[in-house]
Structure 1
C-alpha cells in the first residue's frame, strides 16, 4: 500500500516536472527541444560561474581586513572580490594596501596548490585585479599590493586551469586559456598592437568575457600603450595612425586627455607639423578640449596640459581655418572676396589670434546650411555677433601688435588698430559693427593705424602700407609667429580705454631681426634709438634704448625676440 502511494506521488512529481519544462507542448525526440534546454542550462551555469557575493558583505570583509581584523573562513572568500574597492570609512584606502593582504595571498596560494581554493574565490580576485583604478590608489603600498595580486594570479592560473578540466567550463576560463598574457607584466602589449592594426574585436571580446569595467587600469594601459607605440614610430607612420588613435580614444574616453597630450606633443615634433584637420576638429570640440582661443579665458583649461608651442600649433590651425572660412564661406556669399583670402594668406604664419563676428543672417542660416552650422559650432564660446548689420559678418585677426578688422561685404573698409589702443573691447559678445566700435577707425579722431579701402589696386597699396607698420609677408621657409611660440593674446580692456597685449617671448633668429623693419619701428617712437654693437670685437649686442619705456614699443620688441636688461634699462637682442 505504501509502495503504491509512493509510486503515485513519484508519478505526480514527474508530471509536474514535465509540465514545468514545457515538454508537453512538443514531441520527444526533437533536437531543438534538447538544444534549447541545453542553452538554458549553459546560461544558468555561466551565471553561477561568475557569481559574486553580496557587495555589502564583500565590502564589510574588505573593511575588516584593512582595519587589521582577523577574517573567518567565510570572510576570506567574500573579501576576494572587494580588495580593490575604495573603503569610504578609511578615506578611500583599499585592502590591497592592508598589512595583512600579503598573508591572505599566501593562504590563497597554499589552498590553490592543494586543490582546495574555491574557483569563485579565484574569480573574485581576478575581478579585483581588473577592477583596480590606479587613479584612486592612495599610496605606493596599494600599488605594490595590486602588483602582488597580479603575480599571484599569474602563478596560480595553471593550477586553476588544470582543476577546471576539459568539459563544460566558464567563459572566463576559456578566454584566459587563450589570453593568459593579461596576467603578465606586459598585459596589454599584444592588444595595443592589434588596435593600431584596426583589430579591435579580440580586445572587445576580452573585456566582455572578463567583465573589465570602463575605469579599469587595463583600458588606461591599452590606450596609453597604443598611443605611445604610435608616437615611437616615424613621422609618416605616426600621422597615418592618428585616425585609428582617435577612434580608440572615442571608444575609451576615460583616458582621453592623457592620450591627447601625448598625441599633440608628438605631432608638434613632426617635421613641418602640417595642419591635421581631423585632429584639429576632434580636439577642438566643445565636449573635448574646446577652442584653444578660450585658454586664457579660463574656459578651455585642458590646453594647460601641453606646452605653449603645442597649444600655439593648434591655435594656428584654428586661425588658418577661420581665415579661410571667413572668405570662402562668408565673404564669398556676398561675392566680395576681392582677392582678400589670397592677400591675407601671405601673412598666415604671423596671425596669432582670430575671432569671427557673425551677423544675424548668418546665425539664421545655421538652421539650413550645414557648412555654416559646423563653422559656428566650432567657434562655440569664442565668436561674437553683430547687432545692426544683419547681412554683414566681421573677422578679427592679430598680426604682431596690430588688430585687423575685415568685413564680409562692401562698402565696409578694413581697419588696422594698434592692439593696445582699441576703441572697443576685443572679447565683447556683441558689436554694433559701425563707427561706434569695429569701424571706429573711420572717425578721424580715433586715429587707427591703417584704413584699407578695397578699390582697384588695393592689395599693392595695402602691402606697402603694412610694411611701414613693420608687417611684411611671411618668408617662404620662416617659422611663423604661431609655430615658434610668439602668439599674442588679447586681454579684455575697457571700452574707450587701452586694452593690453601680452606676448610670449619668441625664439630669436640666428641672423637677427630685419633691420629695415626695426628702423621703421623705432622711427615711430620719438626718443627711442638703436645701438648696434654687434660689429665690435668684444662680442657686442644689438641694443634698443627707450627712455620712456613705452608699452607699445615693448610689445613690438618682444614680438621681434628682444629681451629686457634690468641693469642697463634697455632692450637687447640675444645671441644664439
Structure 2
C-alpha cells in the first residue's frame, strides 16, 4: 500500500515538473517538444549576439571622447560601435579621425591578446568598420584611422574565432569564418566577378549577415573592383558592352568615381578602332563630374590630369566632333545656313584639335524653351563664350594644325582663317563683339584665308586650305596603315617591340630613314633632331602642326611621346 501511495506522489510531482517545462500538452520523451524551445532560445541568443549599445549611449560616448574626456569602462565598450558616426556637435568629426584614437585602439588590442575583449565589443568594432562612409569623410586622417581599424580586426579575428569555440556561436561568427577576406586589404575581390555578371545574391546575403549599411565603403569599393575587373577583359567589344552597366554602378556609388573613370578611359583608349562612346563622353564631361576636357589646360578641369595625354586627346576629339555637329545641326540649321558646311568640315574632322562654341543672345534666350539648345549649353558649361553685338548669330572656332578657323551660323558672315600665333582676339575670352574688332577682323585686314559661302564655295575653300597645307582626311589612310596593304610590313609592326638600334643596352632612337619615309606621307610634319645639341634636352623631335591622329598612332608605335608644353612629339631618353 505504501508503495502505491509513493508511486502516486512521484507521478504528481513529475506532472507538475512537466507542466512547468511547458511539455504538458504532449507525451514526455518526444524530441519535437524540446526543439521548439531550443529554436526560440537560439533566436534570442543570435539577437543578443548582434546587439549593440543603444544609439544614444554610443553617440554620447563618442561625443565625450571627441571632447577629450576620459571614458569609464562602460563608455569604452559603447564607443566601439560609434567610431564611424559623424558627431554633429563636433562638425561631423568621427572618432576614427581623433588624435586619441590610436591609443583607444591599442587598449582594445591589449584586451584581445589577454582574451578579455568582449565578443560584443569586437562586434561593435566590426559594425563601425562597415559603417564608415567615404562620401561623408574624405580627410586622410580619418581614412587612416579606418585603415588602422581594419588592420586590428584582421589581426584579432583569429583570437575571437578561437574564443568562440565550436559550440553554439553567433551567425556573424559563422559568416566571418567563411568570408574573412572582407577584413583584408582586398575585401571585395572575390565578389567582383559575380557582381559583374549581374549575380548579386552572394553579396546581398553577406550584407544581410554582417549588417553592412547601404552607405558603407564596402559598396563603393565593390563598384571600383567591378570596374577594374571589367577593364581586364581582353576582348575590346566585350569590354565596351559593359560600359552602360559600369556607369550605372559608378553613379549609384560615387565615392571612388574618379578612380573608376580613370580605369575605364585608359582601357577604352587601348581598344583597337573603338568608336566614340557617347554615353561615356556625356557622363564624364558633365560639369559635376570631370567637366569639359577643353578646360584642362586652363586649370578649370583638373581631373583630366589623372589620365595620360592620349586618353585626354581621345575624349577631346569626341567633344570636338560633337561640337561641330551641334553647331551645324542645331544652330546653323535654325537659319537654314548649313549649305553643306557640316559635310565640308567633317572631312577635316580627324585634324580638329580644339573647338569652342560662341552663343548669341538669341540662343541664350532660346535655352529656356528649347530642350535641345538647353542641353547643348549645359554640355559646354565653363567652355563656351558669348557674342555681344550679333544677337541672332552664333560662332564656332576650331583649330586645324597651326590655324584657328571661325565660322558663323548665319549669312552674310564669311568664314575666317587666322594664324594661331597672331590671333586678333583672345582665344579664351568670355565675350566677343563678333564684328571687325575681333572675330571678323579678316574682313578689313589680311588673313591667311577668307571663305565666302557663295555658290561653288566648297571648291574654292578646298584650294585655299590646301595652299595652307590643310588637306581633307584620307579615308583609306588607316586601312593602309593597319593592313600593311601598301608596305611589306607596317611601321607599327616593325616598332611593336624595343627599337632595333641598341648599343651596350642603350636605346639609340628610331631609324631616321624609316622616320623620314613616314613623314613624307604626312605633308607638313618635320623632324627637329637636337640630340647633338645641349639645348632642349638633346632630344629627337617630330613636329606636326596639324596634329593628325593617324601620324600620332605611328609615332607612338615607334616609341615617341607627346609633349603638351611644346605641342610636339619627342623620342624619350633611356
- Give the TM bin, normalised by the shorter chain: 0.5 to 0.7
CA contact (8 A) 1:396 1:406 kept: yes
CA contact (8 A) 2:96 2:145 kept: no
CA distance in 2, matches of 1:96, 1:242: 45
Q: Is the 1:360–1:386 contact (alpha carbons within 8 Å) kept by the matching residues of 2?
A: yes
Structure 2 portions without partners, runs of 5+: 1-39, 86-92, 479-513, 533-541, 561-567
Q: Distance in 2 between matches of 1:317 and 1:219?
A: 31
The structure-2 alpha-carbon separation of the partners of 1:59 and 1:164, relative to structure 1 and needing over 3 Å to count, comes to farther
For the structure 1 residues 194 and 50, does the alpha-carbon distance in structure 2 shift closer, same or farther, using more than 3 Å as the test? farther
- The answer on whether the counterparts of 2:331 and 2:394 sit within 8 Å (CA) in structure 1 is yes
Distance 1:122 1:513, change over 3 A: same
SS in 2 for 1:411: coil
Distance across 2 between alignment mates of 1:89 and 1:206: 24
CA shift in 2, pair 1:200/1:453, >3 Å: farther
Alignment partner, residue 49 of structure 1: 51
Call closer, same or farther: CA 1:330–1:471 in 2, change over 3 Å. Answer: same
What does the per-residue CA deviation read over 1:437-483, in whole Å, with 9 as the maximum and x for residues that have no partner?
1111111xx2111001112221122112111111111233657xxxx
Q: Which residue of 1 aligns with 2:127?
A: 127
Secondary structure of the equivalent of 1:297? coil
In structure 2, the partner of 1:416 is: 417
1:48 is displaced (CA, Å) by 8.4
SS at match of 1:395: strand
Please give the alpha-carbon distance, in whole angstroms, between the structure 2 residues aligned to 1:254 and 1:477.
Answer: 44
Which deviations, in whole Å up to 9, do the C-alpha atoms of 1:5-64 show, x marking residues without a partner?
xxxxxxxxxxxxxxxxxxxxxxxxxxxxxxxxx9xx99xx79982435423425666999
CA distance in 1, matches of 2:372, 2:48: 51
**Aligned counterpart, 2:506:** none
Structure 1 contact 362–372 (Cα < 8 Å) conserved = yes
Distance (Å, rounded) in 2 between the aligned partners of 1:351 and 1:278: 22
Q: Which moved more, 1:252-261 or 1:182-191?
A: 182-191
Residues 130 and 212, structure 2, Cα contact 8 Å, conserved in 1: yes
Q: Does 1:457 align with 2:463?
A: no
Post-superposition offset of 1:189: 3.1
Contact 1:83 1:128 in 2 (8 A): yes
The answer for the alignment partner of 1:438 in structure 2 is: 439
CA contact (8 A) 1:223 1:249 kept: yes
Partners of 2:530 and 2:125 in 1: CA distance: 69
Conserved 8 A contact 2:356-2:383: yes
Distance 2:262 2:569 in 1: 35
Residues 173 and 374 (structure 1 numbering): CA distance in 2 closer, same or farther, change over 3 Å?
Answer: farther
**TM-score when normalising by structure 2:** 0.68
* Mapped contact 1:126–1:153 kept (Cα < 8 A): no
| Mapped partners of 1:125, 1:359: distance in 2 | 60
Distance 1:291 1:74, change over 3 A: same
State how far apart, in whole Å, the 2-side matches of 1:449 and 1:327 are: 24
Q: Give yes or no for the alignment of 1:146 onto 2:153.
A: no
1:413-450 residue CA offsets vs partner (Å, 9 max, x unmatched): 1100001111111212222212121111111xx21110
Where does the alignment leave 5 or more consecutive residues of structure 1 unmatched? 1-37, 480-507, 522-529, 534-539, 544-552, 564-570
* TM-aligned CA distance change 1:236 to 1:517, over 3 Å: closer
**Map of 2:17 onto structure 1:** none
Alignment counterpart, residue 95 of structure 1, candidates 90, 99, 102: 102
Q: Name the SS for the 1:259 alignment partner.
A: helix
TM-superposed deviation, 1:208: 7.0
2-structure distance, mates of 1:47, 1:574: 65
- Once the 2 structures are TM-superposed, how far is the Cα of residue 404 of structure 1 from its aligned partner? 0.4
In the other structure, the counterpart of 2:475 is: 476
1:513 maps to 519
Q: Tell me, what secondary structure is at the counterpart of 2:338?
A: coil
Q: Is the 8 A contact 1:542 1:572 kept in 2?
A: no
CA 1:103/1:158 → structure 2, altered by over 3 Å: closer, same or farther? closer
Structure 1 partner of 2:511 = none
Distance 1:196 1:159 in 2: 37
CA deviation digits over 1:202-223, x for unaligned, max 9?
6467557755467744234212
Matches of 1:201 and 1:89, distance apart in 2: 31
- Structure 1 window deviating more from structure 2 (133-142 vs 277-286): it is 133-142
> In 1, Cα distance between the equivalents of 2:59 and 2:517?
70
Distance in 2 between the 1:46 and 1:249 partners? 36
Equivalent residue number for residue 263 of structure 1: 264
How far is the alpha carbon of 1:80 from its aligned partner? 3.0
Aligned to 2:301: 300
Other structure's SS at 1:403 match: strand
CA RMSD in angstroms, aligned pairs only = 4.5
SS in structure 2 at match of 1:349: helix
1:540-571 CA distances to partner (integer Å, 9 max, x unpaired)? 9999xxxxxxxxx98949999999xxxxxxx9
Aligned to 1:358: 359
Q: TM-score, normalised by structure 1?
A: 0.67
- Structure 2 SS opposite 1:417: strand
Task: State the partner residue of 1:197.
Answer: 197
Partner of 1:248: 249
Conserved 8 A contact 2:402-2:419: yes
2:333 maps to what in 1?
332
Does the 8 Å contact 1:59/1:79 carry over to 2? no
Q: How many residues align?
A: 458
**What pairs with 1:58-207 in structure 2 (closer than 5 Å)?**
58=62, 74=74, 77-81=77-81, 92=99, 94-95=101-102, 99-107=106-114, 110=115, 117-119=118-120, 121-131=121-131, 136=140, 143=147, 146-153=150-157, 156=160, 182-183=182-183, 186-199=186-199, 203=203, 207=207
Contact 2:320 2:355 in 1 (8 A): yes
Which residues of 2 match residues 339-354 of structure 1 at below 5 A?
Answer: 339-354=340-355
Q: 2 CA distance for matches of 1:296 and 1:438?
A: 22
2:229 is aligned to 229
- SS in structure 2 opposite 1:451? strand
